[in-house]
Structure 1
């Protein structure tokens, strides 16, 4: 799932305001050694945090239906995870880096959600929209200063990109076909065999809309009380 989000982000950033600029899109940790090896303008999208969005957790099972609406399988709902990326621009001039960050904002700000037709792999098969926020208020305890300190680099302008993606981690299980006939009963003879035993079919029970059973031959509201089956 994470690598599919990376692929979508690379496609978005390679187009939009950065299309045709020759800017490279990287996903490596922006350490000192990595920065020293940069010889071309680069947008780095570093995944620094992964955690579940527990507010989106659902219980129960989801029905998987065919084109006729018949339930074929059931599966557990996906779990949603917040993928936090540190987006930075790398070139020789700070002004050029600022322009590149502006281009990232211009590309991602209009994309508050990613529709299924822009996703790939298992993400697209789920048919769910994926929320995305750029440069929002940071609510995690970890600050950017701590992140840069852990990377061994110097603090520089960056954008916080958060993609909340579903993770289809639970298998599907088959369900039985729908019941279309009532149960049948056959009684064994005294010798224990079913010879000459007729099958008695039991029709499915039905209720009236009011929950009361209509008496045979009754008219209008002449019904017995209680929710009795026919």
Structure 2
């Protein structure tokens, strides 16, 4: 996916910002040793950071169906990543570098997303757009000066370009076969052990006997018990 973003940026810059081909587009690290070996004007597009854009993450999985239309698996949606590029112009004169930076700024500000005609590789077939964010304030955990210090070079005018690109790992989560039988519920009365009942009454003499009729709120009804005893005597 990263090499497809590089190819997409090269096509975008060549068509929108450098139409005359007056500067070559390269993706090298702008170190001091690299700068000393330059032979002509160029625009360096250096990738210095890759992070997932967690604010755009989706959790709804897409169903995968077989030839019969039955769901056999689920596929997580693509994730979006933020690729940060440092854009610099390299010529013999600062005036020419500033002019190239102005062309880059004007060409990239015309688009909030990469036009489909410039997409390359797997990005060309993605349903999600490739977003562009140019010259935004740096986040609190790093600055452009820190990038130059890590490269060991001198601070130079630059543009910070962030490309938000989708990445589909083609990961599929298999699911079980479909249920073909109706659910069956079997309810049975558990057998009562008389010995357990006697043990429970011995532990709690106040517990009502099985033949005792309870009234409201669990209170014994003496009349009901007497009536039951009379019916037993008649038998």
TM-score by length of structure 1 reads 0.69
**Secondary structure at 1:18 match in 2:** coil
- Write 1 or 2 for the structure with the bigger share of strand: 1
Hey, which bits of structure 1, 4+ residues long, moved more than 3 A?
Answer: 63-66, 69-74, 115-118, 172-179
> Given that residues 78 and 167 in structure 1 are in contact (C-alpha distance below 8 angstroms), is that contact kept between their aligned partners in structure 2?
yes
> Given that residues 11 and 118 in structure 2 are in contact (C-alpha distance below 8 angstroms), is that contact kept between their aligned partners in structure 1?
no
Can you give the 5+ residue segments of structure 1 that lack an aligned partner in the other structure?
185-230
Q: Count matched residues.
A: 180
Q: Which residue of 1 aligns with 2:94?
A: 94
Q: Which residue of 2 aligns with 1:136?
A: 136
Q: Which residue of 2 aligns with 1:53?
A: 53
Distance 1:116 1:146 in 2: 34
Is 1:145 the counterpart of 2:167? The answer is: no
Cα 1:175–1:116 change in 2 (3 A) is farther
Cα 1:115–1:61 change in 2 (3 A) is farther
Task: Report 1:77-226 matches (<5 A).
Answer: 77-116=77-116, 118-172=118-172
Distance 2:43 2:153 in 1: 16
Is 1:15 the counterpart of 2:15? The answer is: yes
Q: Which residue of 2 aligns with 1:217?
A: none
**Secondary structure at 2:39 match in 1:** coil
Coordinate RMSD, CA, aligned? 2.7
TM-score by length of structure 2 reads 0.68
- Write 1 or 2 for the structure with the bigger share of helix: 2
> Given that residues 122 and 168 in structure 1 are in contact (C-alpha distance below 8 angstroms), is that contact kept between their aligned partners in structure 2?
no
Moved more, 166-175 or 124-133: 166-175
Larger Rg, first or second structure (1 or 2):
2
- Structure showing greater relative contact order (alpha-carbon pairs closer than 8 Å, 6 or more residues apart): 2
Cα 1:153–1:25 change in 2 (3 A) is same
> Given that residues 130 and 165 in structure 1 are in contact (C-alpha distance below 8 angstroms), is that contact kept between their aligned partners in structure 2?
yes
Can you give the 5+ residue segments of structure 2 that lack an aligned partner in the other structure?
183-235
Distance 2:144 2:115 in 1: 30
**Secondary structure at 1:113 match in 2:** coil
> Given that residues 12 and 114 in structure 2 are in contact (C-alpha distance below 8 angstroms), is that contact kept between their aligned partners in structure 1?
no
Q: Which residue of 2 aligns with 1:207?
A: none
> Given that residues 50 and 82 in structure 2 are in contact (C-alpha distance below 8 angstroms), is that contact kept between their aligned partners in structure 1?
yes
